[in-house]
A and B are shown apart, each in its own frame.
Chain A
Amino acid sequence: QSALTQPASVSGSPGQSITISCTGTSNDVGSFNLVTWYQRHPGKAPKLVIYEDNKRPSGVSHRFSGSKSGNTASLTISGLQAEDEADYYCCSYARSYTVVFGGGTKVTVL
């Protein structure tokens, strides 16, 4: 069980778009349409922003979108806002009833 690979940090100015990558393997990201993305503000529980690779839960801003190509999933935040500053984690179902997280990406709004 190896963690999914995410960049440690990504930054952007208000109004810009940023993309966070999440690289796994054919045993997890590449084999299942079960990538989720979570936003986590300090001291708060994680919040789901994308599920099943590219679906957005009700109540989540349309500025959040997900995609996937092969073993790499991506989260794009468009029209970056100050409130988007947080840690973001990708997650995927892996084989044999296990789940694996990425190491997390700190998003900074400049």
Chain B
Amino acid sequence: EVQLVESGGGLVQPGRSLRLSCAASGFTFDDYAMHWVRQAPGKGLEWVSGISWNSGRKGYADSVKGRFTISRDNAKNSLYLQMNSLRAEDTALYYCAKDDSGGITMILDWGQGTLVTVSS
């Protein structure tokens, strides 16, 4: 069974940084691309970033490009999201998600999410 467990969320001031982590189990992690998706309060789902199986391909939403960096450590079965220059509009529940393939194509499985609140 695929398990994705996010951590690292919390309350952070505007302009500061935060690093999210996702621990994956139940599948061969380095066979699959991975994603971060968020949902702000009262809003819909928003894709944030994706990374291919070998980190060779990365994609970002325009809203986070230049501020967020996605990475992975296949030896640790872990996915990360480094979030810099955080803004109030980054406040959201952040989901770690697994792709269907090694490339960035489509999201099949989801974690339960970690909450990030950006506020002074």
Contact = CB atoms under 8 A, between A and B. Distances in A.
Interface of A: 1, 3, 34, 36, 38, 40, 45-48, 51-52, 57, 87, 89, 91, 93, 96-104
Nearest to A102: B44
B46 to A, nearest CB: 6
Most buried by B among A47, A91, A98, A99: A99
Interface in B56-93: 57-62
B60 A98 contact: yes
Interface of B: 35, 37, 44-47, 50, 52, 57-62, 95, 100, 104-113
Nearest to A48: B108
B59 A51 contact: no
B44 A99 contact: no
A91 B97 CA distance: 13
B106 A34 contact: yes
B106 A1 contact: no
A45 B61 contact: no
Given A45-B95, A89-B44, A103-B44, A98 B106 contact: no
Contact of A91 (B61, B106, B109, B112): B106
